[in-house]
Amino acid sequence: MFSVLSVAAPGVSGVVTVDMIGFFSGKYSSMRCARARAPYGTWPARVALLAQAWPLGIKVTCVEPGPFRTDRAGRSLVQTPNRIADDADTAGARMKRTAEGRGKQAGDLARAAQAMIRITEVGKPPRHLVLGAFGVDAVSQRLRAALADTEAWRETSLGTDFPAGT
């Protein structure tokens, strides 16, 4: 991604990347998202791309869509039966939710496409664009939880620095 950007940078004014909401939010099959993305490190790479490209005037938007009505959870998805009793409340429950939600996802692909087109037409696009109510709720909960942990452990965190003046 970075080598392509460095070659194209003189003519590039913006980049839109799309990834799975589960990887960031920790919800909606996050293990699948992590497994699918681990070899590429796309989320960390996209965050690095944001930091590197914006100062050059290249606007980068990381799009995080929630569940949309695609074939991913439809006829193209083949799930193995959950045979491990200990997984019934985790992986088993997720597989059940996926099967029951086929064709009922709230996300509309045409509206998502319009939202992505819109961000390419504005002077100051968002650095992150979360699509769908599920995505907005999941990301908001994750960020609030991270902030609460940061504040609750503030003294411990700050105590790891060298004392001032040393």
The domain spanning residue 27 has which CATH number? Answer: 3.40.50.720
Residue 145 confidence (pLDDT) above 90: yes
| 124: number of Cβ within 10 Å | 7
Angle at 141 between CA 136 and CA 143, to 5 degrees: 95
Cβ neighbours of residue 156 under 8 Å, at least 6 residues apart? none
| Rounded Cα distance, 162 and 166, in Å | 7
For the stretch 97-120, pLDDT in tens is: 777 667 677 788 889 889 989 998
For the stretch 120-138, pLDDT in tens is: 888 889 988 999 988 898 8
Domain, as residue range, for 96: 72-102
CB 58 within 8 A of CB 14: yes
CB 35 within 8 A of CB 75: no
Mean pLDDT along residues 80-92: 74
Backbone angles phi, psi at 15, to 5 degrees: -135, 135
Stated pTM of the model? 0.65
* Domain count within the chain: 2
For the stretch 8-43, pLDDT in tens is: 555 567 777 777 665 555 555 555 555 554 444 456
Q: Does 17 fall in a domain?
A: yes
Q: Are residues 62 and 124 in the same domain?
A: yes
Residue matched to tokens 């597989």: 95
pLDDT band at 152 (very low <50, low <70, confident <90, very high): very high
Residue 79 confidence (pLDDT) above 90: no
Q: Does 135 fall in a domain?
A: yes
